[in-house]
Amino acid sequence: MFVRKIFLILALALAFVASTASAQISPGPLARPHKDLEGATHCITCHQLAGGKASFKCLECHTEIAARLAAHKGLHFSYGLPPGSSQGCAKCHSDHNGVDFPIVKWDTKTFDHKQTGYVLEGKHAGVECKKCHTPEHISASARPLIKMKDLSRTFIGIAETCGTCHKDFHQGRLGPKCETCHNFNEWKNVGKTFDHSKTRYPLTGEHGQVKCEKCHTPGPDGKTRYQGIPFGKCDDCHKDPHHGSFKQSCATCHTTSGWKRVTQGLKDNFDHSKTKYPLEGKHKTVECTACHLNGDFKKPLLFAKCTDCHKDAHNGQFLKRPDKGECSACHDVNGWKPSKFDVKAHATTQYPLAGKHAKVECKGCHLPKGKDTLYKVKFARCLDCHHDEHQTQFAAAPWINQCEKCHTVDGFKPSTFALAKHKQTRFQLTGGHLAVLCADCHKPASAFASAALLPASVAVQTEPTSTESAPAYHTTAVYHFQDISCTTCHKDPHNGQFAERMKALRGDGTPIGCEACHTTKNWKDITRFDHDRTKFALVGAHRAVTCIDCHKPPNLETKLIDVDFTQAPTKCEDCHQDIHARQFAKAEGITPCADCHNAAKWKPSLFDHDKRTQFALAGAHKNVRCADCHKLFRDVDGKQVLFYKPTPKDCKDCHGADPKFQKKS
């Protein structure tokens, strides 16, 4: 009994000493998870003494972390911790900070799962941590490594396979790799993920558009079948629309590109010429099902007439023909266009094609385009097809819009309207007009300044004026003029100076116009002009004077044609220079040239010496030349002018002192 008491006292003493020593060397109380390791006797459980500085031995207890580091996986390995070393643990998990200090600081809301090596994608990214990290999801291989008693607090040990969390819908029949068919975004749509070409039945053609459930139907157990589905024959899935009529496999005629597209092999190998209807021309390229509807190759087809298959494109227009509108009369199996109906065949109709008509395309006359084209058209008159180029100018008699009177089918131009026909008009061609081109006078309406000159029906036209395939673009020329005077075509160069004179009438009652002075032979030939009918009749030498000598332009820039002929001079001094230096000028300053001269001649003068002077000429004086008496010259403005005044009157002034010429007293 005594010995037992002594032993108890020693034990209590040692415990007190140990407790005192632990309090002296520990940096602080351990956190609650490590509370069982308090006391100096447990230091070496976590620390390894080496050189006076303790090292950590965390991985000796936390073997599950050690295993992840050794496998180079998991969160701790992503931080760069070397496998087998515990020296980096304290950087995140420190201790001796008090019982309630959290060794593990964990915020599930901000945690980046990518650091674990398992990235959360698709719908996984929105799942709460506790949905996956549960004790029941920890793999059997990881459980022995985890020392933690409360497995609900650990995040390790979860296998990365789909079956860890999800129930295997296929019950293991398709293997553990769900990602072969599914993805993280959606479960049912496997078309974007599953590669059917890696199976024993690659999908081609239209099969690639078929929904999975069309082929993968439920089995006897009610579960969708993905294996063991027969596919060796087409009728494993499809019904035979031919009901056993053909012994060959479907692939002989059809492909997965479409039921109605028969194989080229069938077209190449099937000899349609052995049937009652050999295929020729375009018929060779027609799909079988275009004639054999619904793929029924056994049903007899009518083929005696084209309309047995084809619709009458002409809507019965040719049914009254002897052949009842047989298509082959104009078409053949090589193509609907071009038609065989040519110019030669057209000659058998009521309107044979000749000249330019033979070159016109069918659609130029047979309108409109397409299925409504008319082939029986009017043709009695040119205007049945062609527009009236002349806008009713020839609608009245004698022409009555009979185009053939001026044109032929060989071409709209040249016209057959020759000079002989022009004589039948109100304006016969003479002189220079005979050499003028038609178009020089018959111009488009827009070329004429005055609309009053034109018939009311004429307007400017710039649209196509003939058949579509043989267009003739014309601007309507004027052929009927209300006014056929010269100024209809020619500009009046005299700007109306002779308007009154031009109003004079011919014998037929039409205005004489420019022909009052000119002719159609030559513009400059104005012999018709009668100057005597003006205020200044031409007599004597004036008749030989050229017009420009009197009708002078006011300056060098003005042409003779622009001269104002109504303002021509009428006085002598207007044209002639006064060579007498105004010796004979009257009070009003005008020299009366006609007192001595006339238009017939300048010399000899008509001057009456007896009446006009104080020295009447008598006897021999009548035969004396003027210059023998009038000899006085004076300088006037730099010119020598003969002065007739004063003139000597005494005999001695001319005859000197000769007694024979002395005047008798």
The per-residue pLDDT for range 627-660, each reduced to its tens digit, is 888 989 999 999 999 998 888 888 888 888 777 7
Question: Which pLDDT band, with edges at 50, 70 and 90, does 511 fall under?
Answer: confident
What span, in angstroms and rounded, lies between the C-alpha atoms of 459 and 476?
Answer: 7
Q: List beta partners, residue 452.
A: none
What span, in angstroms and rounded, lies between the C-alpha atoms of 13 and 189?
Answer: 76
User: What integer is the mean pLDDT of 587-602?
Assistant: 84
Q: What is the pLDDT of residues 85-127, one digit of tens each?
A: 988 898 899 999 999 999 988 888 889 999 898 999 999 999 9
User: What integer is the mean pLDDT of 494-521?
Assistant: 87
When mean pLDDT is compared across 97-111, 136-150, 379-393, 458-472, the lowest value belongs to 458-472
Q: What is the pLDDT of residues 178-205, one digit of tens each?
A: 888 888 988 888 877 889 998 999 999 9
Question: Which pLDDT band, with edges at 50, 70 and 90, does 83 fall under?
Answer: very high
Q: Give the global pTM.
A: 0.42
pLDDT exceeds 60 at position 244? yes
pLDDT at residue 501, rounded to an integer: 86
What span, in angstroms and rounded, lies between the C-alpha atoms of 267 and 290?
Answer: 13
* DSSP code string of 623-658: GS-HHHH--EEEEETTEEEEE-SS---SHHHHHTT-
Q: What is the pLDDT of residues 298-353, one digit of tens each?
A: 788 999 899 999 999 898 899 988 888 899 989 999 998 888 999 999 998 889 99
Residue showing tokens 């006339």 = 598
List the alpha helices (DSSP H) in 168-322.
212-215, 264-269, 288-291
- Amino acid identity, residue 289? T
Cβ neighbour number for residue 553 with a 10 Å cutoff:
14
CB-CB contact of 343 with 357 (8 Å) = no
Return contacts of 430-437, CB within 8 angstroms, 24+ apart.
Answer: 430/520, 430/521, 431/519, 431/520, 431/521, 431/522, 432/520, 432/521, 432/522, 432/523, 433/520
pLDDT at residue 66, rounded to an integer: 92
- Amino acid identity, residue 422? H
User: What integer is the mean pLDDT of 284-305?
Assistant: 84
**Cα-flanking dihedrals φ and ψ of residue 258, to 5°?**
160, 145
Secondary structure (3-state) at 351: coil
Q: What is the pLDDT of residues 549-563, one digit of tens each?
A: 888 888 888 887 788
pLDDT at residue 266, rounded to an integer: 65
User: What integer is the mean pLDDT of 217-236?
Assistant: 89
Q: What is the pLDDT of residues 36-67, one digit of tens each?
A: 999 888 898 998 876 555 688 999 989 889 99
pLDDT at residue 11, rounded to an integer: 47
pLDDT exceeds 90 at position 389? no
Portion of the chain with pLDDT greater than 70, in percent: 89
When mean pLDDT is compared across 249-258, 290-299, 466-475, the lowest value belongs to 466-475
pLDDT at residue 554, rounded to an integer: 85
Cβ neighbour number for residue 270 with a 10 Å cutoff:
16
Burial of residue 154 (CB within 10 Å: 0-12, 13-18, 19+) is middle
- Amino acid identity, residue 104? V
- Whole-angstrom CA distances from 630 to 269, 508, 601, 617 are 137, 63, 21, 14
CB-CB contact of 183 with 205 (8 Å) = no
* DSSP code string of 155-200: ---B--SGGGTS--TTTTTT-S-GGGT--SS-SS--TTT--GGGSS
- Average pLDDT for the chain: 84
pLDDT at residue 238, rounded to an integer: 92
632-636 and 639-643 beta bridge pairing:
antiparallel
Portion of the chain with pLDDT greater than 90, in percent: 25
Q: How many CA atoms lie within 13 A of 532 on its CB side?
A: 5
382 or 369, greater pLDDT: 382
pLDDT at residue 334, rounded to an integer: 93
CB-CB contact of 352 with 434 (8 Å) = no
Question: Which pLDDT band, with edges at 50, 70 and 90, does 662 fall under?
Answer: low
pLDDT at residue 23, rounded to an integer: 52
User: What integer is the mean pLDDT of 172-183?
Assistant: 88
pLDDT exceeds 90 at position 133? yes
CA angle 63, 64, 65 (to 5 degrees): 90
pLDDT at residue 606, rounded to an integer: 84
Lookup: tokens for 316: 């019965």
User: What integer is the mean pLDDT of 133-160?
Assistant: 90
pLDDT exceeds 60 at position 456? no
What span, in angstroms and rounded, lies between the C-alpha atoms of 6 and 461?
Answer: 144
Sorted by sequence, the CB contacts under 8 Å of residue 346 that are 6+ apart come out as: 352, 353
